[in-house]
A and B are shown apart, each in its own frame.
Chain A
Amino acid sequence: MDQIKNELTHKSKASKQDVRGRTIAFICIAVIMLVVLSILFMITSRGLSTFIQDKVPVSDFFTKTVWNPSAVDANGHYLVGALPMIVGSFSVTILAALLATPFAIATAVFMTEISPKRGQRILQPVIELLVGIPSVVYGFIGLTVVVPLTRQLFGGTGFGILSGTFVLFVMVLPTITSMYIDSLKSVPRFYREASLALGATRWQTISRVVIRASVPGLLTAIVFGMARAFGEALAVQMVIGNAALLPHNLLSPASTLTSVLTTGIGNTVMGTLPNNALWTLALILLVMSLLFNLLTRYIGRKGGLK
């Protein structure tokens, strides 16, 4: 009997195994944490050096409109006004989201409320495929189809905010749609039944009951789509024209934070102001991505309370 007692009070192979396994799993998660922290730290410290090391006033960076980091103006100030890119990024993002939202609502409503069967069979694969197409392919099609078309229809070079908007519209559409579908699906069945039982038409039910109940979900989906649009680099860069100028209208060549980054980072020398200024743009991207993240969290919590 003592043998059994002994057995029970000694650490078994299994319990050593468990400690080892737990440690391995923990190390893996720690690696990911470390990666995120290093990204945040390195991009932040690089991005801030424009202000700390090169003494560029923060207000100048965000309000001035001339971007020519390798030159100085008459007073010896660096020409690092990032406003054109900031305006460019926000314009394409907001316009693309505005354009995509009605289509996303219609597609999601169609798939969940009007014709779930056909939606499942035809639209589900359509959405999955649209998500799967790589962004450079969108860029290529933008370059060979959207830009010439814009040029013919509206004049100008064809490169600009409008073309960028069109390309991003197609790219964020599936993101917004698939997220909104999930949110529509979570609206309880009896909401619809109650409404229909009261004699409301299908559209009245959809617009007054279903869509209203899923507003937080829709907002989250749109913010997600915007986050994707804001961070998208190559597809936009290929069609926007890459002129670091404040856009006059939707047709004039412009640039975004990402487009300037992708074209510029290889042509500057580490540690110099032109390079640091680009890292500041990357920092803005990072901060915006965090803000979008916070925003979806905030909407989620608010919506959850209802």
Chain B
Amino acid sequence: MKAKTIDRIATGIIYALVSVVVLILLFLLGFILIKGVPHISWKFLTSPAQAFIAGGGIGDQLFNSFYLLILTLLISFPIALGAGIYLSEYAPKNWVTNLVRITIEVLSSLPSVVVGLFGFLLFVVQFKLGFSIISGAIALTFFNLPLLTRSIENSLSAVPDLQREAGLSLGLSKWKTVTRVIFPIALPGIITGIILSAGRVFGEAAALIFTAGQSAPAINYADWNPFNGTSPLNIFRPAETLAVHIWKINTEGIMPDANQVSAGASAVLVIAVLVFNLLARFIGARLYRKITAGK
């Protein structure tokens, strides 16, 4: 009898704890969306931020976030792909490879603020790039590389060896086999990995405050020449992102509507991450079906 009572009590406790976890998430989402969404408007999403008066938007920050994300993916994807291919297809099973794997794991477990500080030291100070989009994109690349590499490696390794043997037995080089046979099959997994990493990169702030900077100088959206200072595409201008903006106005913001702006920006950020997550699931599943089932 006693064991049964304990069983019931324990189950009750577990249910209670789990409910708390679910409630926390519901509260978080509810809070952000209820407080933030009403503040989101076309004007809010497109107009520049204000430092002292109410009514500022997040237009530049939003653009900066996406621009940095795209640059980061452009830099990190090729490197991660090469590294993933090396680890899954070429790396011999020995202590050197082991050490390489440990090193990548170390990089993935470094606090993002440390990665950001390194980027600051190397690019902002040493290479005299100043607070700039390119410094930020490279810092985010360092932050993104280990996870992306691992997800690519896993996707490639999950492809059955039968496919490798098929390629090799036809006299295809290993490289061709990987790039033309294995890679397309692994693509759904790789894309899912990229989108999930995009979500992480999009919300990252600590690695950016000392690399891409905390200011968003006015951008002239009519000027698409990347060599001009106020062009949106200029990679040497400082660029505060959405996530950094939220941090900034909450620590030293003095505009009267700091709270509403933060809520609106947080809602945008969370919705973006949600969309990335859903997209990853949807596109991954769809591509997978397309590649395996033919039509």
| Chain B CB within 8 A of A233 CB | yes
Whether the Cβ atoms of B209 and A262 lie closer than 8 Å is yes
- Scan A253-271; emit 1 where CB is below 8 A from any B CB, else 0: 0000010011101100010
| Contact call B203/A136, Cβ cutoff below 8 A | yes
Contact partner, A203, options B11, B113, B120, B142, Cβ 8 Å:
B11
The segment out of B24-32, B49-57, B231-239, B286-294 that lies at the interface is B24-32
Contact check, B86 vs A238: say whether CB atoms are below 8 A apart: no
B106 close to chain A: CB less than 8 A:
yes
Q: Which residues of A contact B17 (CB under 8 A)?
A: 102-103, 106-107
B206 at the A interface (CB under 8 A): yes
Produce 1/0 per residue, B79-97, CB < 8 A to A: 1111101110111000000
B82 contacts A28, C-beta separation under 8 Å: yes
Q: How far is the CA of A46 from the CA of B120 in the complex (A)?
A: 13
**B1-23 near A? 1/0 per residue, CB < 8 Å:** 00110110011011101101110
How many chain A residues sit at the interface, stated as a range, is 35 or more
Q: Are A143 and B250 in contact, with the CB atoms below 8 A?
A: yes
Quick one: closest A residue to B8, CB to CB?
A203
Is the CB–CB distance between A282 and B205 below 8 Å?
A: no
Q: How far is the CB of B245 from chain A (nearest CB, A)?
A: 9
- Is A33 in contact with B100, judged by CB distance below 8 angstroms? yes
The total number of A-B Cβ pairs within 8 Å is 249
Cβ proximity bits B254-295 to A, threshold 8 Å, 1 near / 0 not: 000001001100100110011011000000000000000000
A-B contacts, 12 of them at CB < 8 A, read A26-B86, A35-B145, A38-B118, A110-B18, A132-B274, A134-B270, A135-B205, A139-B247, A200-B3, A203-B11, A204-B3, A233-B111
Residues in chain A within 8 A of chain B (CB atoms): 12, 14-15, 17-18, 20-22, 24-29, 31-33, 35-36, 38-39, 42-43, 46, 102-103, 106-107, 109-110, 114, 122-123, 126, 128-130, 132-137, 139-141, 143-145, 170, 173, 177, 200-204, 206-207, 227, 230-234, 237-238, 258, 261-263, 265-266, 270, 279, 282, 285-286, 289-290, 292-293
A106-B14, A140-B246, A237-B251 are known; give 17 further A-B pairs, CB within 8 A. A14-B172, A24-B82, A28-B79, A29-B83, A39-B107, A42-B122, A107-B21, A132-B200, A132-B277, A133-B270, A137-B32, A137-B203, A141-B32, A141-B266, A173-B24, A203-B6, A262-B113
Interface residues of B (CB under 8 A from A): 3-4, 6-7, 10-11, 13-15, 17-18, 20-22, 24-25, 28-29, 31-32, 78-83, 85-87, 89-91, 100, 103-107, 109-115, 117-118, 120-122, 125, 142, 145-146, 149, 171-176, 178-179, 199-200, 202-206, 209-210, 214, 243-244, 246-247, 250-251, 259, 262-263, 266, 269-270, 273-274, 276-277
